[in-house]
Amino acid sequence: MIGSTRSVQVWARRVPTDLRNGYNGLYGIVKREFDRDPLSGDAFLFVNKRRRSAKVLLWDGTGLCIYSKRLSKGVFSDVCGAHGQGQLKMTTAELSLFLEGADMVGKLPISPKKVGLGA
């Protein structure tokens, strides 16, 4: 399972990505477009134009990992939505549902807000 805690944030790119990109290409997109540190421990989701394939770039503490999935039937949920710009923040639970092919991800928030210990 990719990042099983709420402390791991997932950032989805809201425009189609050429998934021929490997470590260096995806790393560059995260630095340039997300303005985030790819070595932060957060996960970064990329989906191709046809929405049949997806990649997740993740620093696991010892190196960069790329998780890749191609659906045999159907397509992934449209993370681009109507706006198609910027980035979409997700939880690891939402990422898991996305990778399973759930079609509600990115359309409405399904995770509760973070609960503080002192509140």
Q: For the chain, what is the domain count? A: 1
**How many Cβ atoms from other residues are within 10 Å of residue 119's Cβ?**
5
Look at residue 65 and tell me whether its pLDDT is greater than 90: yes
Instruction: Answer yes or no: is 113 within a domain.
Output: no
Q: pLDDT band for 108, please (50, 70, 90 cuts).
A: low
| 85: in domain | yes
Contacts (Cβ under 8 Å, ≥6 apart) of 64: 23, 27, 38, 39, 57, 58
Structural domain that includes position 70: 10-100
- Strand arrangement, sheet containing 43-47: 64-70, 53-59, 43-47, 10-13, 87-90
Task: Record the pTM.
Answer: 0.82
Beta bridge partners of 89: 11
Q: Would residue 61 count as lying in a domain? A: yes
E-strand ranges in the chain read 10-13, 43-47, 53-59, 64-70, 87-90
pLDDT tens string 24-51: 999 999 999 999 999 999 999 999 999 9
